[in-house]
Structure 1
């Protein structure tokens, strides 16, 4: 009876250990989370400026540039990405390059520049999140 109890206890502890190990392996790296958090912050700030009708051209250009630089870290943050993810990243890069080049000076211009960026983010998140 005692041996059976130890076998059952060993199996339970082993199952819990395996669950914790698999959970830790699935979480990803903090760098991955940080890249996405910084991009979300800048995109959210730009959208908030559009909603508030406070779109200073210099501030918008700085935020777009930061967003573009951070997007450049996506390949490093997701080193094992497949070809579809890489294409989605290239689409985002192109949308951000166009937004930076547009240098929107008004809220309407910023909203137009942000639309393809938001679409690229949304399509990737729908498929890979």
Structure 2
């Protein structure tokens, strides 16, 4: 009985320790997740605008500007020195700049501007997730 109690106590302590370690490891670098969450929010808002067919120029520009601003943080925040990663991040920034310069004023223009951005995001996520 005593051995079983000690084994159970050891398991409980192990589970508590594991939870604490996992919590600490998960919280140590919040910025990469925050950057992706922010970009996901703005891409989601643009996607919702397309679905609702309410693609105002001002709203689209706002979300594209926020995406471009956030995309400049990708390389320093993730700290991945691989040339492929930095090239993908640069390509995303270029495509966002092109979308901003095209100034999409309707849903068709916004969809056309978002397509290369979405392809770049998917490509990078397939490689690095």
**Which category of TM-score, normalised to the shorter sequence, fits these structures?**
0.7 to 0.9
- From the superposition, tell whether residues 22 and 48 of structure 1 become closer, same or farther in structure 2 (CA, over 3 Å): closer
Which residue does 2:81 correspond to in 1? 82
**1:96 equivalent in alignment to 2:96:** yes
Q: Deviations over 1:19-57 (max 9, x none)?
A: 975885577611111000000000010011011100000
Count of equivalent residues: 127
TM-score in terms of structure 2 length? 0.80
Deviation at 1:103, TM superposition (A): 0.4
- From the superposition, tell whether residues 109 and 126 of structure 1 become closer, same or farther in structure 2 (CA, over 3 Å): same
Deviation at 1:117, TM superposition (A): 0.4
Gaps of 5+ in 1: 1-5
Q: What does 1:1-129 align with in structure 2 at a 5 Å threshold?
A: 24-25=24-25, 29-79=29-79, 81-83=80-82, 84-129=84-129
Runs of 4+ in 1 over 2 A off after TM superposition: 16-28
Counterpart secondary structure, 2:54: coil
Gaps of 5+ in 2: 1-5
Q: Deviations over 1:67-107 (max 9, x none)?
A: 1001111122112x132111110111111011111100010
